[in-house]
Homo-oligomer: A and B are copies of this chain.
């Protein structure tokens, strides 16, 4: 059996569009085919692009308490040794997060307000951006499930994973570096089952790993696409990673079920929109591929 079919639908790099597309054309060219692209000039009218400086954000939301992911090494939600380790979730004021990012401190801090509605929780920022992406909402016939806010340090890394969302990722300042793998590369992506655990900073400043004893094991990807261990994961040789950088003012369309690994420049600010994916024929094909991959790799 040859897994390495010639995937006609894939581009060799992530193409750029020079402006916001028509909804139908975007559906036909990118959402339906499940292909990523970078859209320029799609949110030039957002005041956030010029306004969101540290001074402005301190003034507007400095006293607001938000949830921050803290880790010793920048890896929140990632495999470390034989554990799947989640960050310490710490409540702190937005100002103190900015202090850390502008200064120095042990640990890596990452504001990653996932599964939350940025505009409901930070109404002070509501005038700085739109609550959805109109042509995307029209194309999909629905509003986003979540609008997330991201602010982090250069060494805060999001390990390889996939989401059941059509994702529009808008970089407000700095830049984000993505490594993308199509869902059809699922057979080349190793998974393992890991005891889940959480980081906990000690008084001395070092971090301990505390097991979540009553949780199920977590299926996660142990492979680091920045330095893939091809002796342990030889099937990854057949994967077709696409790398791209999304700059301030640019928007990445990251299609549902694409694997992605994300890095960023220091202090990079981004907002993303999650639109629920359709559980359609593509999803069922993916499920089949997933169960085949599990059989082929002995449940990993």
Q: Is A230 an interface residue (CB 8 A)?
A: no
Residues of chain B contacted by A9 (CB below 8 angstroms)? 279-281, 283-284
Contact between chains at B184 and A284 (CB < 8 Å): yes
Which residues of A in the span 5-28 have a Cβ within 8 Å of any Cβ on B? 5, 7-9, 23-25, 27-28
Residues of chain B contacted by A182 (CB below 8 angstroms)? 281
Tell me which of B2, B3, B141, B292 contacts A1 (CB under 8 A). B292
Which residues of A in the span 244-292 have a Cβ within 8 Å of any Cβ on B? 278-289, 291-292
Contact between chains at A284 and B28 (CB < 8 Å): no
Residues of chain B contacted by A31 (CB below 8 angstroms)? 32
Q: Is A183 an interface residue (CB 8 A)?
A: yes
Q: Is A295 an interface residue (CB 8 A)?
A: yes
Chain A interface secondary structure, helix, strand, loop or mixed?
Answer: helix
Q: Is A138 an interface residue (CB 8 A)?
A: yes
Contact between chains at A8 and B283 (CB < 8 Å): yes
Residues of chain B contacted by A283 (CB below 8 angstroms)? 8-9
Q: Is A140 an interface residue (CB 8 A)?
A: yes
Which residue of B is nearest A22, CB measured? Answer: B24
| A275 vs chain B, min Cβ distance (A) | 12
| A208 vs chain B, min Cβ distance (A) | 42
With A24-B27, A32-B32 as known contacts, state yes or no: A289 contacts B278, CB within 8 Å. Answer: no
Residues of chain B contacted by A285 (CB below 8 angstroms)? 184, 282, 285-286, 288-289
Which residue of B is nearest A257, CB measured? Answer: B281
Which residues of A in the span 193-246 have a Cβ within 8 Å of any Cβ on B? none
Q: Is A33 an interface residue (CB 8 A)?
A: yes
Which residues of A in the span 26-48 have a Cβ within 8 Å of any Cβ on B? 27-28, 31-35
Q: Is A139 an interface residue (CB 8 A)?
A: yes
Interface-central residue, A9, A25, A281, by most chain B CB under 10 Å: A281
Tell me which of B5, B138, B281 contacts A287 (CB under 8 A). B5
Binding site for B on A (CB under 8 A): 1-3, 5, 7-9, 23-25, 27-28, 31-35, 138-141, 182-184, 278-289, 291-292, 295
Question: Beyond A9-B280, A27-B27: 10 further Cβ-contacts under 8 Å?
Answer: A1-B291, A5-B288, A5-B291, A24-B27, A28-B140, A183-B281, A184-B281, A281-B282, A285-B286, A285-B288
The 3 A-B pairs with the shortest beta carbon distances in the complex, nearest first, are A285-B285, A33-B280, A32-B32
